[in-house]
Every structure is written in structure tokens, then in C-alpha cells.
């Protein structure tokens, strides 16, 4: 017995026979036990993961952490236990943060496994019994009612008005109608009308099905496997920091080795040799880097939360800033997720409707003139038909105020169009008493209702154009007269609406006897009066249209990947400007994707912007192909079917309102408003985060290089150290916290979304920034030795005074250089010199700390410092101000040469 057969291609009797089951009696208890042993339990396999202890230990396996541990060892050699504790504390805190993030990231599969914990009704030995879902076996006969969650993949045997919400699996927002008829050709899961899938929800009707697949062999099980196999990618930031740290590690180790070798050759004692090596390492290591990275990302998280984007994993903040491709779902993200009637055809006239969504604010117009339902009898009857042949409710929330629909989105749109035409819903519903209903079924392709009003009975119908028009003998004109049907004219109107991506419904009515109290299918197959057409669409969000435009300006490619039909998807894409960069490029369907070889898929993924009717594994493949081309991919999704692609993407973005728990657990970021415009805002914030990190690195490295070179030069030339290891540690820790960290609060510079994304292969420090780092470091080293030599020899000052001047020279050099670093290319005055209040506050605190270190007897004793004179302060400030002016001159020259 196979469990991976294309059951939907077979008749229900063939499936039941192949599975050795009985649609009336089900399986025997003995057979159930035998199949349990053969197929196992109906549950998803959770991939065995690393122990939490191993995950925690792995957080220490990073070059940057190695550097910090070396720093801690170095400080412990100096018996400065407080500083050692601080550095180790930074390491442990960063490890804990990384551990928490990773454990959260791996909860998605567990969430999926929990998704099918429930009970279901099956037929066994001729009796209906309720059993746990995990005990369902292949061949079981399952009974489905409204509100039930489907326990396994089923081939429908019988159904009555059965509708199932498959949105979490297929992305389709409208419930799918199910029946038992076989399908003649292979098709994607969206179109398998005779199959019910595990975890989907029955919204209407009744059905019976035979279990064909359980656990890992179900469609949801295949998605579970895709989630487990999808790679957890290293973020661009993590990768760059790792590369940068490795280079820094080897440079520090190399310089420390040179220092110790030179010291050893000079005949210094082993303790002094080690002390000099440790001093260089302590000076060259940027102890504050991990803390500032975490602070900067955390601030980005806070700012994004204010912009309705919740970040679940810190590095995702910066990943957004590096994004080169955004693959977005259509419904609710790019669109309103509220069906809206935009075109009406009635009485041989074409009407337009304005307004968006379920809010009935708007008008019906004819040739730009506002009209109401009284304009023509045909229009009035058409709008009334949409109200009466309707199972849903349009509800106004008085507190918001907003409008929402209870029921089918399509039916909600019909209420809205009727109100725009001046009809009063409650008045019509009270006037026309509903006697009987034929609910919509996929086999019938229509819905019909029987109403009584003032001594006459009327049947109102809505449904597919083909079904309604074929049953009509006449149509209603503007005066209310019956005219001979003009099928060709109606078809041309349908094609016109469909070409705009509109979903078209046809409407009709039929007068029947006052004594008629029920309707049957035969009442709806002939002699109908055609009332007209309503064309509707889920319209794009205005803010999303602008967001797509800004993304294109920023060099970010936007691709629509949807479960909707290709015509609708292409129409929405054109409204939004998604194909603006290549308007002649046609969209592609999932069925067409299946026929492509790897090379063709690679080309299509790059060129195409619209992908319709795609399956979960195709979404995953598209993301993988784009990543192989070097793209940083952001992927949006809300359903279980989106989870594998969300996990594989560099940044997975889940919908907070309509998203499933599986999607949210898998994602790196959650949109609280399900709006594409929020992705644009978050991308802008991500770019700002990376800019601020780059500013910090460009600011802090000259200090570390300066301190390292000071030690190296002293060792090579046999000079007295201008600054001690303990003083170096003070400078590094205090300035990183009170000066460098304040760069994290810098707001986005103008034009941030007008340049292309940063090249993922580009190093953190570009040649321009590296040049600046080197010459700033050289300047500071030269000034330190100039001042130290001048003060110790010319003025015959005490060593502690000279060293105090040098400490302040480094600190105030960093302080003035901090204002340079607020923008890598422009003057801080362009940003607003006092716009970063955190930076101003940090500068004032740092000045206070340096004065305390210089003049406090306690600090003089602890750090071997001494008070200095006003003249010496003048020297410190003068050299630091000169550095500031030189950097601004360099930026000005570069702007002139490179036209920034």
C-alpha cells in the first residue's frame, strides 16, 4: 500500500479500494492496530536538535569573543580583577543574547507539530468514534463538519456544500469548495478540489473522506521537512564582523608577538616581556565593540517597533539594510485585504465606483457624474441582488471607526457597492423576507435565494458568468423592460473587466409563483433575467505603492510571489509599479516553473517580478536561487506554507495580524500591521543601523591602532611607555560606553534610500574609511610622542603628568573625532550639531570623568595620573581641534572630487 500516490487523479471508489477500506464501515480495530505498526503515529517528526548546553557553548566560538577573552586574560595578568570581570561579563551577556535568539529561532517546527494536536471523528467497524488525531491511520474514514480541523490528508468521498479554509497552506484567502469528483490532470494543491489537507479548517458544510496520508507524508509534513532542511543563514553583519574580527585577531597576535620578541631580544625579564605583549593586546582590542553592536541593534529594534515592525532576532535589524530583493505576498501585504467593487455593467451602461475596502464611503459614477441606484431599474435590481443573495454581514466598528466583514470577502464588497448606490441594507433585508437558499457550491457555480415581497416571490442569483449567462433568456434594461439576451456584448464586458485583473460576478433574477416556498437547481437553469456584472479586486495599498517606488529608487528589487491567479497578480503588480523596471516582462505560474531546468529557473528568478500559483517548495527554490546569485533576500509570508521560505530567506517577515503561529515563530521580523510600507520603513532603519555601526567602527579603530602603535614603537625603540596598560583599559572602556555608543542614536541621514544596497561582498572598512583610520591613527601617535617627549624632556615634568596629558590627548582626540564620525561624508552641521542629545550628554559625562581622573587624588593613585595646567589643556584641545578640522577638510575634498 502506497502513501505517496496522486490520489486526486483517481475516483473516490478507486482510492477506497486501493486502501482496502470501506466508506460505510471504515476499518476494523484489528486492521487499525496493524496499520499503526506499519505507518506509525499521525504526527510530525521534530528533527533532533543540539542540546541547549551545546548551543550556549557555540556562542563563544567567534573570533571577536576570542579577542575579548584574550583581553580578559591580559587584564588578569595585571591583577585588575574588576576590569577582568567587566570584560568577561560582556562576553557572557553576548553569549546569553545569542543563545536566546537561536533557541527562539528553532521553535518553528515544534509550533508546527503542536498545530495538529486535536481530536477527530472517524468511522470504525461501522460506528462513529472520536479519537486523538495522532491515532488516525491510513484508510480511516473521517467525518468532517463545520469548525473541524482536518486531521490528515483526505480524498473526499462525499460532500455537501463543503468549504475549507486552506489559506495557511495555499495562501488563498477565500475558502475552497470541495467535492468528490476526480481531477483529470496533474495540478498544484490550490486546485485539488477533491482533497482535504491536514491542519486546514472546515468553514462550512459536511464531508466524508478517506485518509491517504498521515504525519510526515502529508502536505503539511512535507513543509515540516522543508523547514527542518532550510539553512539558517549567517547575516551580512555577522559575516562581516566575523571576517573583520579574524583579521583583527591575527593583526593583534602578530603585533603582540613582535613586541614580545623585541623585548626579549633587549634582555628584558620574562614578566616584562609578557607585560608588554599584554599591554599591546589590551590597547589594540576594541573591548566595547560587542556591547556597542548589541546596543545599536537593540536601538534599531526599538525604533522599528515604533514603526510597527517587531524584530525577533537582533542581527535581522541590519540584514534589512543590506536587502537586495524583497519577495512579497500579495493579499493583505501589498493589497488592502478587502475586496472592492470597481466596475459595474447594468442596462448596457458601464459604471465606475470610487473608495477602497469595506468602508462604504464613495460614489457610483457614470461618465464622471455621480448617480444613485435610482438612475436605472437595472442598476437598482443588480445592487439589491448583491444584498439579498448574500450570507455575510457588513459591520461598522463605532469605536475605530472601521468596517469589517463577517463571512466571505466577495459578499462584503457587494454590500459596500449597494450602500454607495444609496441603498439601505437593513430596509431591503426587512422588506424582502428570505424563504429558501441554495448555498454556493463549486459544482453549481452559483448561489440562489428565494424572497417574498408584497405578494410576489423572486429568486435572486449570483455566480460565475458562464453559469448565469447560459441560464438567462432576457436582460433588464434601464427602464425595467425585458430585452433579448446579447451574450456577445456581455462577454466583451467580462473580458474588459478581467483584463484589469477584476474578479467578475454575474447577477440574475426570476419571478416565481407566490405559493413557491423552496427552490431547487431546476429553478435556476432557465428563463433567468440577466441584471448585470460587478467587477471587484483587492486593491493595492496607496502607501505600499509609494513604498515599492522608494525600494526601486534604493536599488531593491521587489517580487510578488502569490497563490492568486496570474492575471490578477499581474494587474496588481502593474498598479503598484512592481514591473516598472521591466514592464514587458510577463509573469509566470507555478505550473510553468515546474518545467524549468536549474539554469532556466536561475534566469527566471532574476528577471521575473510576478510569480503566481506557486507551491511552498517553489517559494523555497526561488529564495535559494536568488541567494546563489549573491542576493540578500527578504521574504514575507503568513501561512504554514510560507514557513520553509521564511526560514531560508536572509530575513523572514511574518504577518502579525493574519499570520499563523508557525510563520511568526519561523520569521525574523513580524509586521504588526501586515503592510508592505512597514518593510520599507524597516529597511530604511536597517540601513541606518549599519551606517551607525560603521561610524562606530571607523571611530573606535583609530584609538585601538594608536594605542597598539604607541606600545609597539616604545618596544622597538626602547622608549618609556607614554600610557600604561591600565590607563589604556580606562580609555577603551569609558570612551566606548560614553562616546562611541552614542553613535547608535544617530538618525538616518538624508538620501539613505536613494543609493543601492551595500554589496554583501564589500568589507566593513572600505578603502576610503581604511585610509582615514590609518592617517588619523598616525596623527595621534605622532602627537602623543611629540607631546610626551616635549613635556618629559623640555619641561622636565613628572612621568605621571606627561602620561596624564597623553591620556587626555587620546580621549579628547576621540571626542572631537566623534563629531567627525557622525557622518562619514558630510559635516556634523548638516545633521544638526546638537541633534543627537545622547551624544552631547555622553561628551559632557566623558569630560567630567577625565577631569575627575586628572584631579581626583583617588584616581591619581589608582591610575597613576596627576593634575595638569591650563597651558597643557590648551595643548590637548588645540591638537584635538586640529584633528577635527583635518578630517572635515578630507571629507570636503572627497565630496568635491567624487561628487557625494
**329 catalytic, yes or no?**
yes
**Which residue is listed with cell 477500506?**
21
Structure-derived torsion over alpha carbons of residues 102, 106, 108, 111, reported in degrees to the nearest 10: -110
Judge contact between 763 and 243, C-beta under 8 A: yes
DSSP lists the bridge partners of residue 412 as none
C-alpha cell at position 146: 463545520
Listing DSSP states for 40-75 in one string gives: --SSPPPPP---HHHHHHHTT-SHHHHHHHHHHHHH
**Annotated catalytic residue, options 148, 153, 165, 329:** 329
Structure-derived torsion over alpha carbons of residues 775, 780, 782, 786, reported in degrees to the nearest 10: 160
641 backbone dihedrals φ, ψ, rounded to 5°: -65, -20
CA angle 171, 173, 179 (to 5 degrees): 90
Of 619, 643, 882, nearest to 776 (Cα)?
882
According to DSSP, the β-strands at 669-671 and 309-311 are antiparallel
Of 180, 311, 138, 344, nearest to 672 (Cα)?
311
Burial of 97 (0-12, 13-18, 19+ CB in 10 A): middle
The rounded distance, in Å, linking the Cα atoms of 229 and 620 is 11
Return all residues near 208 (Cβ < 8 A) that are at least 6 apart.
Answer: 23, 123, 141, 142, 143, 144, 156, 157, 158, 159
Judge contact between 201 and 143, C-beta under 8 A: no
Reported in sequence order, the residue ranges of 182-240 that DSSP labels E, i.e. its strands, are: 195-196, 201-213
Judge contact between 326 and 547, C-beta under 8 A: no
Burial of 55 (0-12, 13-18, 19+ CB in 10 A): middle
According to DSSP, the β-strands at 651-655 and 669-671 are parallel
CA distances (Å), origin 409, targets 192, 225, 548: 22, 33, 26
Judge contact between 171 and 616, C-beta under 8 A: no
Return all residues near 324 (Cβ < 8 A) that are at least 6 apart.
Answer: 555, 556, 557, 631, 632, 633, 757, 760
DSSP lists the bridge partners of residue 10 as none
Cβ neighbours around 37 below 10 Å, total: 8
DSSP lists the bridge partners of residue 350 as 345
DSSP lists the bridge partners of residue 119 as 132
The rounded distance, in Å, linking the Cα atoms of 605 and 571 is 19
DSSP lists the bridge partners of residue 359 as none
Judge contact between 405 and 424, C-beta under 8 A: no
Q: Which residues are catalytic, by number?
A: 329
Amino acid at each position: 500500500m502506497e502513501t505517496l500516490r496522486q490520489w486526486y487523479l483517481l475516483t473516490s471508489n478507486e482510492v477506497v479500494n486501493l486502501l482496502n477500506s470501506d466508506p460505510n464501515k471504515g476499518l476494523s480495530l484489528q486492521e487499525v492496530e496493524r496499520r499503526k505498526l506499519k505507518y506509525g503515529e499521525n504526527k510530525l517528526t521534530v528533527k533532533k536538535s543540539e542540546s541547549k548546553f551545546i548551543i550556549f557553548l557555540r556562542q563563544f566560538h567567534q573570533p571577536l569573543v576570542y579577542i575579548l577573552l584574550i583581553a580578559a586574560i591580559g587584564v588578569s595578568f595585571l591583577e585588575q580583577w574588576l576590569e577582568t570581570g567587566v570584560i568577561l561579563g560582556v562576553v557572557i551577556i553576548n553569549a546569553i543574547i545569542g543563545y536566546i535568539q537561536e533557541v527562539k529561532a528553532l521553535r518553528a517546527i515544534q509550533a508546527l507539530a503542536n498545530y495538529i494536536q486535536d481530536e477527530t471523528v472517524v468511522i470504525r467497524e461501522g460506528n462513529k468514534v472520536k479519537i486523538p488525531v495522532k491515532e488516525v491511520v491510513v484508510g480511516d474514514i473521517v467525518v468532517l463538519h463545520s469548525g473541524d480541523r482536518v486531521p490528515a490528508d483526505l480524498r473526499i468521498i462525499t460532500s455537501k456544500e463543503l468549504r475549507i479554509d486552506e489559506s495557511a497552506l495555499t495562501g488563498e484567502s477565500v475558502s475552497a469548495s470541495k467535492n468528490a469528483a476526480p481531477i483529470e490532470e496533474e495540478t498544484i494543491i490550490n486546485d485539488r478540489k477533491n482533497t482535504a489537507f491536514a491542519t486546514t479548517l472546515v468553514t462550512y458544510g459536511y464531508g466524508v473522506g478517506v485518509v491517504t496520508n498521515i504525519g510526515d507524508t502529508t502536505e503539511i509534513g512535507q513543509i515540516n521537512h522543508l523547514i527542518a532542511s532550510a539553512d539558517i543563514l549567517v547575516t551580512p553583519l555577522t559575516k562581516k564582523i566575523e571576517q573583520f574580527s579574524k583579521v583583527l585577531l591575527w593583526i593583534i597576535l602578530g603585533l603582540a608577538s613582535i613586541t614580545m620578541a623585541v623585548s626579549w631580544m633587549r634582555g628584558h625579564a620574562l614578566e616584562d616581556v609578557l607585560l608588554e605583549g599584554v599591554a599591546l593586546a589590551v590597547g589594540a582590542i576594541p573591548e566595547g565593540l560587542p556591547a556597542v553592536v548589541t546596543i545599536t541593534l537593540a536601538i534599531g529594534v526599538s525604533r522599528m517597533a515604533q514603526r510597527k515592525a517587531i524584530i525577533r532576532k537582533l542581527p535581522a535589524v541590519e540584514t534589512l539594510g543590506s536587502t537586495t530583493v524583497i519577495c512579497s505576498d500579495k493579499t493583505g501585504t501589498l493589497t488592502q485585504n478587502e475586496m472592492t467593487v470597481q466596475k459595474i455593467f447594468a442596462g448596457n451602461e458601464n459604471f465606475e465606483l470610487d473608495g477602497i475596502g469595506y468602508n462604504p464611503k464613495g460614489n457610483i459614477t457614470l461618465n464622471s457624474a455621480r448617480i444613485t441606484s435610482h438612475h436605472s431599474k437595472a442598476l437598482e435590481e443588480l445592487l439589491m441582488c448583491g444584498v439579498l443573495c448574500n450570507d455575510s454581514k457588513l459591520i461598522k466598528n463605532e469605536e475605530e471607526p472601521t468596517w469589517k466583514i463577517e463571512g466571505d470577502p466577495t459578499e462584503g464588497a457587494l454590500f459596500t457597492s449597494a450602500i454607495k448606490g444609496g441603498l439601505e441594507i437593513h430596509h431591503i433585508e426587512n422588506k424582502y423576507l428570505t424563504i429558501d437558499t441554495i448555498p454556493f457550491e463549486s459544482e453549481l457555480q452559483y448561489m440562489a435565494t428565494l424572497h417574498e415581497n408584497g405578494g410576489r416571490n423572486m429568486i435572486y442569483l449570483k455566480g460565475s458568468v458562464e453559469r448565469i449567462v447560459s441560464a438567462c433568456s432576457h436582460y433588464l434594461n434601464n427602464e425595467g423592460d425585458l430585452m433579448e439576451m446579447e451574450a456577445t456584448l456581455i462577454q466583451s464586458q467580462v473580458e474588459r473587466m478581467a483584463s484589469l485583473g477584476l474578479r467578475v460576478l454575474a447577477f440574475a433574477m426570476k419571478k416565481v409563483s407566490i405559493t413557491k416556498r423552496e427552490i431547487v437547481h431546476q429553478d435556476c437553469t432557465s428563463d433567468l433575467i440577466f441584471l448585470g456584472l460587478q467587477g471587484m479586486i483587492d486593491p493595492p495599498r496607496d502607501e505600499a505603492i509609494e513604498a515599492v517606488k522608494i525600494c526601486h529608487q534604493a536599488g531593491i528589487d521587489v517580487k510578488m510571489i502569490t497563490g492568486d491567479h496570474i492575471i490578477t497578480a499581474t494587474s496588481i503588480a502593474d498598479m503598484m509599479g512592481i514591473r516598472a523596471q521591466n514592464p514587458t516582462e510577463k509573469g509566470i505560474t507555478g505550473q510553468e516553473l515546474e518545467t524549468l531546468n536549474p539554469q532556466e529557473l536561475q534566469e527566471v528568478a532574476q528577471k521575473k517580478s510576478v510569480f503566481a500559483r506557486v507551491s511552498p517548495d517553489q517559494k523555497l527554490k526561488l529564495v535559494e536561487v536568488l541567494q546563489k546569485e549573491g542576493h540578500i533576500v527578504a521574504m514575507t509570508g503568513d501561512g504554514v506554507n510560507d514557513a520553509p521560505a521564511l526560514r531560508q530567506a536572509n530575513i523572514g517577515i511574518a504577518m502579525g495580524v493574519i499570520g499563523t503561529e508557525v510563520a511568526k515563530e519561523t520569521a525574523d521580523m513580524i509586521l504588526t500591521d501586515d503592510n508592505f510600507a512597514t518593510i520599507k520603513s524597516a529597511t530604511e532603519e536597517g540601513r541606518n543601523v549599519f551606517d551607525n555601526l560603521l561610524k562606530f567602527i571607523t571611530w573606535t579603530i583609530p584609538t585601538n591602532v594608536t594605542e597598539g602603535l604607541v606600545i609597539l614603537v616604545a618596544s622597538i625603540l626602547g622608549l618609556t611607555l607614554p600610557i600604561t596598560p591600565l590607563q589604556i583599559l580606562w580609555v577603551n572602556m569609558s570612551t566606548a560606553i560614553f562616546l562611541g555608543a552614542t553613535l547608535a542614536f544617530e538618525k538616518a541621514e538624508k538620501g539613505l534610500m536613494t543609493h543601492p544596497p551595500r554589496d554583501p561582498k564589500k568589507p566593513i572598512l572600505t578603502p576610503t574609511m581604511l585610509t582615514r583610520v590609518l592617517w588619523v591613527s598616525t596623527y595621534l601617535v605622532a602627537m602623543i610622542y611629540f607631546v610626551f617627549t616635549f613635556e618629559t624632556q623640555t619641561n622636565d615634568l613628572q612621568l605621571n603628568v606627561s602620561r596624564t596629558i597623553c591620556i587626555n590627548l587620546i580621549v579628547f582626540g576621540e571626542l572631537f573625532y566623534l563629531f567627525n564620525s557622525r557622518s562619514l561624508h558630510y559635516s556634523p552641521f548638516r545633521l544638526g550639531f546638537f541633534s543627537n542629545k545622547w551624544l552631547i550628554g555622553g561628551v559632557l559625562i566623558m569630560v567630567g570623568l577625565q577631569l575627575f581622573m586628572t584631579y581626583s587624588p583617588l584616581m591619581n593613585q589608582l591610575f597613576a595620573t596627576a593634575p595638569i595646567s591650563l597651558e597643557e589643556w590648551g595643548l590637548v584641545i588645540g591638537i584635538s581641534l586640529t584633528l577635527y578640522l583635518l578630517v572635515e577638510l578630507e571629507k570636503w575634498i572627497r565630496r568635491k572630487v567624487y561628487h557625494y
